[in-house]
């Protein structure tokens, strides 16, 4: 009998990460490709995804007939049951049926969900939240993503639009967020939010190692790690502010859901997780009820860059 492989993808605004798992859930092959090469149309992103899958099959020597299913996480509001991407902030997709062309091309089932939902699912099945039943996940990257597991089920809300608590408003007079609102968690605590703070301080004439890193866009996490290690005061303030609002948001989520565990993931946490967790833990008790707080653990994600990949594997298994 031919062995069966699963292909899992993490589709981002700038890259597609692909992994082939064998039947024992070991990584048989891995590939990362930039998405920007193909320009900005939906079909181009689709072409990059197809080329990643084709290249992985070719390089690994695995035949199309040996593939069981393909699954992916991508940014945006995605109807998990139909495979239609309703809206994606960093990709040129609107009401776009990504499932049909991929199933036609490879002849196997294709599943897709919001990347942070899928990432939290990965941590729940294989990572830091394994064995817990109610999980709140904050993914700190360029933006701020949320994912919820309630009573062992991924909670996606009406029409798969739920768990967008990166846009929980913590100060209506606060900084402008990319969503058009003011004072969202994302506006304070994401890479965009921290970059905006550093930019503001530098424009006032303060010196920071981060000055070049935040020009034009959000910094890369490794620059933040370096600046913190060097004791850069502007970078430290940006992180203190980010962690303060993450602590407030965490307190709100603890009071609302009484989860077993709160997990922090994403690129920023991967680079500076210890610092973030320490600062959040030092403050969070002020913002939630002691009786609820006493039964919640706070921890960093365990799967690093692969949270979404393992969540995609979990989607295949659930189906």
User: In the chain, where are the structural domains located?
Assistant: 5-119+307-318, 132-301
- Cβ-contact 180, 204 below 8 angstroms: no
Assigned CATH for 132-301: 3.30.420.40
* Chain-centroid distance, C-alpha 156: 15
- Cβ-contact 214, 198 below 8 angstroms: yes
Angle at CA 159, nearest 5°, toward 155 and 176? Answer: 85
Please check the confidence at residue 261 and state whether its pLDDT lies above 80. yes
Question: What global pTM score does this model have?
Answer: 0.94
pLDDT digits (tens, 9 = 90+) for 167-181: 999 999 999 998 899
pLDDT band for 1, please (50, 70, 90 cuts): very low
**Residue 9: C-alpha distances to residues 1, 37, 69, 156, 161 (Å):** 26, 18, 11, 20, 21
Between CA 149 and CA 147 the distance in angstroms is 7
* Sheet containing 67-74: order of strands: 27-34, 15-21, 5-11, 67-74, 110-114
Percent of the chain with pLDDT strictly greater than 70: 97
pLDDT digits (tens, 9 = 90+) for 123-151: 999 999 999 999 999 999 999 999 999 99
Topology of 5-119+307-318 in CATH?
Nucleotidyltransferase; domain 5 (3.30.420)
Decide whether 5-119+307-318 matches 132-301 in CATH topology. yes
Q: What share of the chain is helix, strand, coil (3-state, %, to 5)?
A: 45, 25, 30
Please check the confidence at residue 295 and state whether its pLDDT lies above 60. yes
Backbone angles phi, psi at 230, to 5 degrees: -85, 0
Between CA 241 and CA 233 the distance in angstroms is 12
**Greater pLDDT, 136 or 43:** 136
pLDDT band for 83, please (50, 70, 90 cuts): very high
């Amino acid at each position: 009998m031919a062995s069966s492989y699963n292909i899992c993808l993490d589709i981002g605004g700038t890259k597609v990460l692909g992994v082939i798992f064998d039947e024992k859930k070991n990584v048989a092959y891995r590939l990362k490709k930039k998405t920007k090469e193909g320009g900005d149309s939906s079909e181009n992103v689709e072409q990059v995804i197809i080329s990643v899958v084709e290249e992985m099959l070719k390089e690994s020597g695995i035949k199309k007939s040996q593939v069981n299913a393909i699954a992916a996480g991508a940014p945006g509001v995605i109807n998990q049951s139909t495979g239609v991407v309703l809206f994606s902030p960093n990709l040129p997709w609107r009401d776009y049926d990504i499932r049909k062309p991929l199933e036609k091309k490879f002849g196997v089932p294709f599943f897709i969900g919001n990347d942070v939902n899928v990432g939290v699912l990965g941590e729940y099945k294989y990572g830091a939240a394994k064995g817990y039943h109610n999980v709140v996940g904050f993914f700190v990257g360029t933006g701020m993503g949320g994912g919820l597991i309630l009573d062992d089920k991924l909670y996606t809300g009406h029409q798969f639009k739920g768990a967008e608590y990166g846009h929980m408003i913590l100060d209506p007079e606060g900084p402008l967020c990319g969503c058009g609102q003011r004072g969202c968690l994302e506006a304070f605590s994401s890479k965009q939010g921290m970059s905006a703070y550093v930019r503001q301080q530098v424009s006032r004439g303060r010196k920071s190692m981060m000055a070049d890193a935040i020009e034009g866009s959000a910094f890369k996490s490794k620059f933040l790690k370096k600046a913190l290690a060097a004791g850069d005061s502007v970078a430290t303030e940006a992180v203190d502010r980010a962690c303060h609002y993450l602590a407030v948001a965490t307190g709100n989520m603890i009071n609302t859901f009484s989860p077993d565990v709160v997990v922090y993931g994403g690129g920023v946490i991967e680079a500076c997780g210890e610092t973030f967790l320490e600062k959040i833990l030092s403050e969070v008790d002020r913002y939630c009820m002691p009786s609820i707080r006493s039964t919640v653990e706070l921890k960093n994600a365990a799967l690093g860059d692969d949270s979404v990949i393992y969540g995609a594997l979990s989607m295949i298994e659930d189906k």
